Amino acid sequence: MDWFNIMVTTVEAAVGVETVFYMLAAIGINLHFGYTGLLNFGQAAFLGVAAYGLAVTVVTIGLPFWVGIGIGLASVILLALLLGIPTLRLRADYLAIVTIAAAEIVRLIFRSVTFKDYFGGSDGRYGFSEGFFAMNPFSKGEYGIGPFTFNERVTWVLLIGWILVGLSCLVIYMLMKSPWGRVLKAIREDEEAVRALGKNVFSYKMQSLILGGLIGSFGGYIYALGYASVQPDAFSTELTFYAYTIVILGGAARVFGPVVGSMIFWVLLVFIGNLLNELIEAQYITWMSVNQIGAFRFMLVGLGLVLLLVFRPQGIFGDKREIALDAR
């Protein structure tokens, strides 16, 4: 068994592209769900719309990279408005239903044969990231510490990714220290009480939906650039549920909850995957094959989430006091 390889890939998973892109998706979910109490089950659509906004603008229309980024962000705001205007005045569960359906609709449009000329069908789009890598300050080579290294392209994506994570956390931190954040947290507790105090609840929920969607969309860009391609199935509902798992794992309504949550989530997932892989290759495990690892990991995520909710519902950073109060 190659323990060294398991160790290296596991450690790299703590900071890798996948971790960062889920982290950003989860920071957005944390704003929606953790701070505002909005059940947005369509976060995948926000990431997808941003990533496709970039890809389509550059590849299909032939406009420059930065225009693609701008169109992606504009599409995210438009999507938030489209989802929010009809549902944010209704009870919380309506948003959940509408967003989960909308995310699937968005994915199916991206993957449809009808729009293959625009979105590239199930193959998706590639060849839109040259503008980004043209700005790469890292020359060709490997960067890192000891055995943990990334090539110049991944290093550049990760640098930008972590800067976006840092900025997002800073913005969330500042907002939650402000009266704006106070209104959001109050809405999470009881909308009517907040209305009775003269606050426009609808407007705050909309602002939260847009901001969380925009932060999530950074994750979409990191994905698109990290893999230099977009495929519709990367933005399935699974992404959203992983992001929720990450938020709950790290602790909802905590600034660094999603950051730590995503790192732990991916370290565990990669470690278990690699370990199983090695054990199967070495014939220690014979009751399952290598191609079943993915599904098995999925089951473990579900089991882990259940155990987490039973034994530590407040997550790693959560405040037990805040959870316990619900029992009253």
Q: Contacts with other proteins in 41-70 (CB under 8 A)?
A: none
CB closer to other proteins, 170 vs 282 = 170
Q: Contacts with other proteins in 184-243 (CB under 8 A)?
A: 185-186, 188-190, 192-201, 207, 211
Q: How far apart are CA 173 and CA 256, in angstroms?
A: 9
* Least CB distance to other proteins at residue 75 (A): 20
Site string for other proteins, 309-328 (x = CB under 8 A): ------------xx--xx-x
CB closer to other proteins, 176 vs 280 = 176
Question: What tokens were used for 221?
Answer: 């860009």
Q: Which of 175, 209, 259, 301 binds other proteins (CB under 8 A)?
A: 175
Question: What tokens were used for 73?
Answer: 């962000």
Helix 65-87 to helix 43-55 angle (10° resolution) is 150
249 contacts 308 by C-beta, under 8 angstroms: yes
**Sign of the CA dihedral running 273, 278, 281, 287:** negative
Q: How far apart are CA 133 and CA 149, in angstroms?
A: 18
Question: What tokens were used for 181?
Answer: 């954040």
Name the 3-class secondary structure at 128.
coil
Q: Contacts with other proteins in 66-125 (CB under 8 A)?
A: none
CB closer to other proteins, 78 vs 170 = 170
Asked if 141 is part of the footprint of other proteins (rule: CB under 8 A), the reply reads no
* Least CB distance to other proteins at residue 178 (A): 4
Asked if 284 is part of the footprint of other proteins (rule: CB under 8 A), the reply reads no
Site residue total, other proteins (CB under 8 A):
32
Q: How far apart are CA 27 and CA 36, in angstroms?
A: 13
Region for residue 283 given its phi and psi (left: phi exceeds 0; alpha: psi -120 to 50; beta: otherwise):
left
Residues at the site binding other proteins, with contacts judged by CB under 8 A: 171, 174-175, 177-183, 185-186, 188-190, 192-201, 207, 211, 321-322, 325-326, 328
